[in-house]
Chains A and B, each alone.
Chain A
Amino acid sequence: MRDTVNWVTACHLDDIEQEGAIRFDHAGRTYAIYRAPDDSVYCTAGLCTHEAIHLADGLVMDYEVECPKHSGAFDYRTGEALRLPACANLKTYAVEVVQGEVRVAL
């Protein structure tokens, strides 16, 4: 198995609200892409580690996303689980924004 990074164009920066998130599905998997209050962009696995709920439906405040069902919370920059019932961290993916185009290293 090769471990080369595959840069995938996910969306345009303008597709994501500032301090917001969108869901991005690719190759049968789901991700969440976040635009921070400072316009930096991050990507994590799309489903909460507690139960399979799409995090992009959750509230983004500062650098935190809250699961829309059980209020578990994560730092979407690092994937760190911040609040119960979430205990396992989220996987994160590198992101680059080139001329407004958001690319994710999947």
Chain B
Amino acid sequence: MNMIIIGAGECGTRAAFALREAGFSGAVTLIGAEHGLPYERPPLSKPDGDGVQRKTICDQAALEGAGIAYMPGTTIAAIDPALRIVRLADRELPYDKLLIATGAQPRRLTCPGAEHALDFRSHADAARVFAGATGPVAIIGAGLIGMELAAVLRARGLPVTVIELGPAPLGRAVPPRFAARLHQRHETEGVRFHFGQAIAGIDAAGVTLADGTHIPATLTVSAIGVVPDLGLASLAGLAVGNGILINARLQTSDPHIFAAGDCAAIAGQRYETWRNARDQAQIAALNMLGQAQDFAALPWFWSDQYDLGLQVVGTPQDAPILRSHPDGTEIEFHLQGDRLIAAAGLGRGNAVARDIKLAEMLIAGGQSVDAASLADPSVGLKSLLKARKAA
């Protein structure tokens, strides 16, 4: 049996190890487009004194110890689903089961001078951005990446301007209350914002907005989201839409080919998070081995900006219940009927981590929770969980 994994990011690498952890003894080949060992992306936006961290997911010895044939810096010409072959420039690799974990690429700006804006996705991107961040910086896009980057660069004392087409920052995934608090914090730290503004053009001197405003910047970063990497899947004739379309078993339209992580869409939904990359990798690996595991999505992510830590689990809805701690930590609970379906929290450091983890357990447990108890910071969430277990 030959298992091939295309994409050596968090998802593909986890899947390779998960195959071994599940007892698979055949051949495992992990093919990556980038050079070097697989690395974690979250630390890229948190440079230390020596520059951008390259925190590897595993070392060479771990790959060898697990018997994973790792092929970095490798471009794939095509997948042939009929012959079950992956074609490289100089040879062909047969597979029994294939996992596509090609991730996503930064969405590109289309305005004049777009080539002056740097992306922020890979280690090489991050190294370029931090090496070039010596003067005023313009960040296009007020999503999580744009806002995290603004916080890091501001903390280095650089003038930072964030430009966003929408009316407010963090519009997509963060509850409005916390988006507003984070926005306020950035304002307090001295970040300048321009909302509702399209870009007229970018050049080496900065960014010109649609209304003619010129923002001087010696470095411009584009952080307007990502598009899934669908090239190989499309070429192979697999069904694609907003991602490579997969069923609950993470199978594509070809039963021998699976997809997982940022590139994969399940019920029309892509989950672009570190946790999801690992969770889907695990399920995909087991199903490649013939198990029948369904993926149950419970999205979870975090974001650090200045000394504030945000965590979100589930998909927040309107009209949450608020729990306010005296130290300023806030947790929002989102109910459907009397069942918890999502929670979000913002506080210093990792202050919300425990409560969000407990909320995740309450969501997974799926039983009724009392709204008044959720709102009361003196009622420990752990006691709700234990009361339920005892009931």
Contact = CB atoms under 8 A, between A and B. Distances in A.
Nearest to A70: B274
A69 interface: yes
Contact of A58 (B278, B302, B354): B354
Contacts of A57: 349-351, 353-354
Interface string A56-69: 01110000001011
B357 interface: yes
Contacts of B275: 71
Interface string A18-57: 0100000000000000000000000000000001011001
A69 B357 contact: no
A24 to B, nearest CB: 16
B354 A68 contact: yes
B354 A59 contact: yes
Question: Which has the most chain A C-beta neighbours within 10 Å: B55, B302, B350?
Answer: B350
Contacts of B302: 69
Contacts of B278: 84-85
Contact of A59 (B43, B55, B349, B353): B353
B1 to A, nearest CB: 24
Contacts of B43: 51
Contacts of A54: 349-350
Nearest to B57: A85
Main SS class of interface, B: helix
B240 interface: no
A58 B382 contact: no
Contacts of B351: 57
Contact of B353 (A19, A51, A58): A58
B353 A69 contact: yes
A68 B382 contact: no
Nearest to A60: B354
Interface residues of B, number: 14
B354 A19 contact: no
B325 to A, nearest CB: 14
Contacts of B274: 70
Nearest to A57: B350
A71 B313 CA distance: 13
A49 B355 CA distance: 22
Nearest to A68: B353
B375 interface: no
B384 interface: no
Nearest to B380: A17
Nearest to B381: A59
Nearest to B358: A59
Contacts of B357: 58-59, 66, 68, 71
Interface of B: 43, 55, 274-275, 278, 302, 349-351, 353-354, 357-358, 382
Given A58-B354, A68-B353, A71-B357, 19 more contacts: A19-B382, A51-B55, A53-B350, A54-B349, A54-B350, A57-B349, A57-B350, A57-B351, A57-B354, A58-B353, A58-B357, A59-B354, A59-B357, A68-B354, A68-B357, A69-B353, A70-B274, A71-B275, A85-B278
Please list the 6 inter-chain residue pairs (A to B) with the smallest Cβ-Cβ separation, ordered nearest first. Answer: A68-B353, A57-B350, A68-B350, A59-B357, A59-B354, A57-B353
28 contacts: A19-B382, A51-B43, A51-B55, A53-B350, A54-B350, A57-B350, A57-B351, A57-B353, A57-B354, A58-B350, A58-B353, A58-B354, A58-B357, A59-B353, A59-B354, A59-B357, A66-B357, A68-B350, A68-B353, A68-B354, A68-B357, A69-B302, A69-B350, A69-B353, A70-B274, A71-B275, A84-B278, A85-B278
